[in-house]
Chain A
Amino acid sequence: MSFKNELERRCFEIAQRTLGAGVSIEHNKTIQIESALFPEVASFKGPPAKEIDVLVAELLDRPKVVLLVSCKMLSRSAEPGHVQEWGAVVQTMNKYSDGRLYFGLVISPTGFTAGCEAWATSHNLGIMPPLKGRRLAFAEETVFRMFERTLKALHARVQLRFDDLKVPPAFFEFVYRLVADFEGHQEAELDGRYVLQPNGWPSSFGEMYQTIGGHRVEDLWAVPGATVARLSGGQFVKFSRARIEYGCDDELKPPLVQSTPQCRKNIEMEPCTFDLIRSATLGTAITSAGDFGGYLEFGLDERFNLGLHEAGFHLMSTETPIENHRL
């Protein structure tokens, strides 16, 4: 298999990894309609044919459903002409097919000019990255992730039903729905504060609380530059000021050599022992949470606030009157 550029190679590898056999790249391929017994396609040179570079991915065997991908490696955004050309190819292949159904997709990591969308919707082509109505640049790596996500979803979708995708702009909209959400994801990725483990996915405060809320504190410890709370159900939270990791790790254990955490208690932040904090908090459940930048605070059993700092912990009672509930 030869590739004209890196974009083709990466797209081919992704398609092959996602769909297995039935994926091919062809250069200067002369595609010809399958059924040429129509008066309107008769000419002195024979039926319509066009020389193209195409990534062909078979999505379904019976009946044949095929995705034709055009990989545009351009120094500037793709223009309506690029989309129109692919639209004409896919439309003609469908019109004179012998029962195969073709869907078309155009990938241009440098993006598309605004005029491309109307051509893509009317020709029912997917475009990647999506046009989102404002200046938005997606990293090339993100465009590859869009392609992989779309291929997986499309492969699953055509096993269930595909006839509804034939009517414009259903296929365009299907692809759009799969790739449009990368906008919010990209913003979260740039922030990078919350990380969901074990996948290392960017996350958010809301998702963190939804995951760990209600879980009981089973253990606390400190490591250089971070504090860790192991929670029931194999969950954990690790706070290191700029980064908060959380998620599931059944194997998580305190290191043999632990840092000595700096421990404080009450609103006045008086020094206290780590044993005091452990004895008050182990076994209690997380009932609220707050990210204060320099520390992460959990409400426990609606009785205590436990703070995770990068170098230690703090603990205070939330019961009133305060003077009667000092630790």
Chain B
Amino acid sequence: MAVPAEHLLLVDSEGRRLDVDALVDKLRREPARVLADDEVGLVLYTGDLGLYSLKPTDSGAFLAQPVSEISRPRFSTRMLRKQIGATVLSVTADAVFVVRDGNTLKKVRAEKLEPGMVLASGEKVYR
């Protein structure tokens, strides 16, 4: 069973929401897109499809980031629930977040995110 590092909210270049599972099932039938499909999981190339992942921000707007690969590991570390800004996310313990530390940025595993930390995007970690 594939478990993404965090639940993806995917849209196409026109902003239409996509069903990630259906997309993965469709794309894995195109051998050229399959970068890895083994005991660790599936990695698909999506850089030419104009896909974006949406991250909700405090203001209620969405931050769109291009998605060049979709990864579906067969195993993940344990799942956590985190509230970051206005959003409550399900993420794996090893998902990486970039947080502000004084005037520098550093990476933090999801399991080490603490309330009060501020992400590079400006969102605050609540729990």
Chain B residues 18-70 with CB under 8 Å of chain A are 32-36, 38-41, 43, 45, 47-48, 68-69
Q: How many residues of A contact B (CB 8 A)?
A: 33
Give the contacting residue for B1; candidates A156, A159, A185, A204; CB below 8 A. A204
Give the contacting residue for B39; candidates A164, A178, A201; CB below 8 A. A201
Task: Tally the A-B contacts, defined by beta carbons under 8 Å.
Answer: 87
Q: For the complex, is B73 an interface residue (Cβ under 8 Å from A)?
A: yes
Q: For the complex, is B71 an interface residue (Cβ under 8 Å from A)?
A: yes
Chain B residues 67-110 with CB under 8 Å of chain A are 68-69, 71, 73-77, 92, 94, 96, 107-109
A110 to B127, CA, bound (A): 35
User: How far apart are B79's CB and chain A's nearest CB, in angstroms?
Assistant: 11
A180 to B59, CA, bound (A): 32
Determine the chain A residues whose CB is within 8 A of the CB of B17 once the complex forms: none
Give the contacting residue for B35; candidates A153, A180, A203; CB below 8 A. A153
Most buried by A among B38, B73, B75: B75
Determine the chain A residues whose CB is within 8 A of the CB of B7 once the complex forms: none
Q: For the complex, is A5 an interface residue (Cβ under 8 Å from B)?
A: no
A195 to B73, CA, bound (A): 16
A201 to B1, CA, bound (A): 13
User: How far apart are A194's CB and chain B's nearest CB, in angstroms?
Assistant: 10
Most buried by B among A160, A177, A184: A184
Contacts known (A159-B32, A160-B32); A134 close to B40, Cβ less than 8 A? no
Interface size class of B (residues with CB under 8 A): 20 to 34
Give the contacting residue for B74; candidates A152, A161, A164, A185; CB below 8 A. A185
The answer to whether B73 touches A184 (Cβ under 8 A) is yes
The answer to whether A164 touches B68 (Cβ under 8 A) is yes
Most buried by B among A181, A201, A204, A206: A181
Chain A residues 103-123 with CB under 8 Å of chain B are 117
Q: For the complex, is A132 an interface residue (Cβ under 8 Å from B)?
A: yes
* A182 closest partner in B (C-beta): B40
User: How far apart are B71's CB and chain A's nearest CB, in angstroms?
Assistant: 6
Contacts known (A185-B73, A185-B74, A204-B1); A149 close to B47, Cβ less than 8 A? no
Give the contacting residue for A183; candidates B43, B45, B94; CB below 8 A. B94
The answer to whether B41 touches A160 (Cβ under 8 A) is no
The answer to whether A133 touches B112 (Cβ under 8 A) is yes
Determine the chain A residues whose CB is within 8 A of the CB of B109 once the complex forms: 132-134
The answer to whether B39 touches A185 (Cβ under 8 A) is yes
Contacts known (A134-B109, A177-B69, A184-B73); A149 close to B94, Cβ less than 8 A? no
* A196 closest partner in B (C-beta): B39
Q: For the complex, is A28 an interface residue (Cβ under 8 Å from B)?
A: no
Chain A residues within 8 Å of B, Cβ to Cβ: 117, 132-134, 145, 149, 152-153, 156-157, 159-161, 164, 174, 177-178, 180-185, 187-188, 199, 201-204, 206-207, 210
List 16 additional A-B contacts (Cβ < 8 Å) besides A160-B45, A184-B75, A185-B75. A133-B96, A134-B109, A156-B45, A160-B47, A160-B48, A161-B45, A174-B69, A183-B77, A184-B74, A184-B76, A184-B92, A184-B94, A185-B41, A188-B75, A201-B39, A204-B75
CB<8 Å pairs between A and B, sample of 10: A133-B94, A149-B38, A153-B35, A156-B32, A160-B32, A160-B33, A160-B47, A178-B35, A180-B94, A187-B77
Chain B residues within 8 Å of A, Cβ to Cβ: 1, 3, 32-36, 38-41, 43, 45, 47-48, 68-69, 71, 73-77, 92, 94, 96, 107-109, 111-112
